[in-house]
Structure 1
């Protein structure tokens, strides 16, 4: 490893994975050795996962990229560059900002320009956390309904004496 490691591209997922393959070749390590070095660095990178990741042209998860880059021996700013490139590819190109609109003309001296309303946010897909919470709530509801129907939440003790009972 006397030469500098390959730099991450920010074009597309296939080019990114190809650069990860070049990084593995640069490191000269086997998949099993990468697994051990990732564990030494505090990451989890099974050798089969690394092999599968490099065999596809899909963008790997960020934690896999971090583990793989650390296992290959890349640290500091260069490792962060790999994660930034991955994030850039995953999020797509930054939207071009429109130039600011011209200030509205004031017609009368007493007229005051109203502040511009904020742009409506783009529709955001519900996060996985929201779906996980909804699933957990449904599961708890089903479990409580089943427990109630089976009588698990009722007292099985027989009432011996009440105030309304008549003693014989």
Structure 2
């Protein structure tokens, strides 16, 4: 069994998707130092930064409901009696492996990008019916509802 492997799933995938902060215009994968820092925080090797950015951008498109081509990766597999595990080493490998695990579990659709156009933060929708639209109802949901209200008020509706 793997001992120092990252925990694959929603938390790792959401964290990887959020290496791009649209609201603050910060990309943790824009330079090697940021990429190495994120990978180290998750117990991973950074791997190729260009591949990581490609994987991140493709996965953001996928969770946003668009088709996207993922980079070609080699995901190491470890087989033991009674189990088969993915054993990713790099940031891109771990993110794609997490998306694959969630997809097999039928939960990838619960990873979403915030509906706020100025936000686009990734989050895991743990609501009962999976209908959450914003990363935070208090911030982004409230902003959108205020915009909708003001728009209707201007139109005289």
| TM norm. shorter chain > 0.5 | no
Q: Which structure carries more strand by proportion?
A: 2
Q: Which structure carries more helix by proportion?
A: 1
Larger radius of gyration: 1
Category of TM-score, reference length = shorter chain? under 0.3
Which protein has greater RCO, CA pairs closer than 8 Å, 6+ apart?
2
TM-score of the two chains, using structure 2 as the length reference: 0.26
